[in-house]
């Protein structure tokens, strides 16, 4: 896709709007899932937002609490903004929803595919999104975590096939 595998490391970037809820949660969950599949030494996972409002700030406290409740550590996260020149850094760019996917596609070189994160969940409907929990309560963050865990298994299987 974007050609980073020449370095021997497969690189993934997970992208949402502000990089404080969904994409950092996905980054943490996907790292653990890849480690569980023995792929952590060959795959780098990062996250970013399409907007720059939160750059340099931590993950949303509710997202971090939800991760911690389920045995994950998101405490080191600092928000970043995805820019056009980042496409050559990654082998796989995963958007949390169709709006962010459309925005990323508008920035991407023609040969780059930007996939929805949930497209890797075999139980998800085509076009399924990870909903933004920002304006809701803890139940929204719980739902997001469940969706991320399910799709992360599919991402890990896809990456394993890609890197052999």
Catalytic residues: 16, 22, 132
What does the alpha-carbon distance between residue 149 and residue 118 come to, in Å, rounded to a whole number? 10
C-alpha dihedral (123, 68, 28, 75), degrees to nearest 10: 160
Burial class of residue 143 (count of CB atoms within 10 Å of its CB; 0-12, 13-18, 19+): middle
| Structure token pair of residue 77 | 């996260």
């Amino acid at each position: 896709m974007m050609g980073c595998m020449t370095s021997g490391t497969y690189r993934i970037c997970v992208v949402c709007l502000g990089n404080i809820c969904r994409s950092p949660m996905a980054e943490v969950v996907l790292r653990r899932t890849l480690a569980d599949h023995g792929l952590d030494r060959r795959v780098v996972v990062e996250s970013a937002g399409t907007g720059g409002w939160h750059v340099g700030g931590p993950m949303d406290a509710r997202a971090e609490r939800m991760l911690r409740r389920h045995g994950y550590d998101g405490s080191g996260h600092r928000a970043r903004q995805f820019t056009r020149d980042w496409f050559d850094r990654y082998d796989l760019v995963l958007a949390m929803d169709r709006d962010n996917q459309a925005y990323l596609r508008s920035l991407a070189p023609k040969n780059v595919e930007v996939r929805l994160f949930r497209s890797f969940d075999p139980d998800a409907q085509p076009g399924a999104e990870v909903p933004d929990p920002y304006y809701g309560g803890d139940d929204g963050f719980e739902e997001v975590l469940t969706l991320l865990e399910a799709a992360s298994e599919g991402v890990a299987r896809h990456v394993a096939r890609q890197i052999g």
